[in-house]
A and B are shown apart, each in its own frame.
Chain A
Amino acid sequence: MSFLVNLGLGLLFGVGLVISGMADPAKVLNFLDLFGTWDPSLAFVMGGAVVVAFAGYRLVLARGEPIVGGSFHLPTRNDIDARVIAGPAIFGIGWGLGGFCPGPALTALGLGASGTLAFVPAMIIGMWTARLIGEAVSRTSNV
Chain B
Amino acid sequence: MTEFTPIASLIGGMMIGLSAVLLMLWEGRIAGISGIAGRLLPPYRDGAFLSRLGFVVGLIAAPLVIAVATGEAVGQTVSSNIPLMVAAGFLVGFGSVWGNGCTSGHGVCGLSRLSARSFAATGVFMAAAFVTVFLVRHVIGG
Contact = CB atoms under 8 A, between A and B. Distances in A.
B125 A92 contact: yes
B102 A21 contact: no
Number of contact residues on B: which range applies?
35 or more
Contacts of A93: 91, 95, 128-129, 132
Contacts of A118: 82, 85-86, 89
A87 B97 contact: yes
A97 B59 contact: no
Contacts of A98: 79, 84-85, 88-89, 92
Interface string A75-100: 10111100111111111111111111
A80 B52 CA distance: 27
Contacts of A49: 13-14, 16-17, 20, 107-108
Contacts of B21: 52-53, 56-57, 59-60
Contacts of B100: 75, 83-84, 87
Contact of A67 (B9, B27, B131): B27
B76 A24 contact: yes
Interface string B71-111: 00111111111101111111111111111111110111111
Given A25-B76, A90-B94, A111-B74, A19 B89 contact: no
Nearest to A48: B13
A105 B56 CA distance: 11
A51 B126 CA distance: 19
Contacts of A46: 13, 107-108
A99 B2 CA distance: 14
A57 B125 CA distance: 24
A101 B96 contact: yes
Interface of B: 1-6, 8-31, 33-34, 37-39, 41, 43, 48, 50-66, 73-82, 84-104, 106-113, 115-117, 120-122, 124-134, 136-138
Nearest 10 CB-CB pairings of A with B = A87-B99, A10-B58, A20-B12, A14-B62, A92-B128, A126-B93, A96-B132, A48-B13, A94-B91, A52-B17
Given A89-B124, A93-B132, A99-B79, 6 more contacts: A5-B27, A14-B61, A74-B113, A92-B126, A95-B103, A106-B60
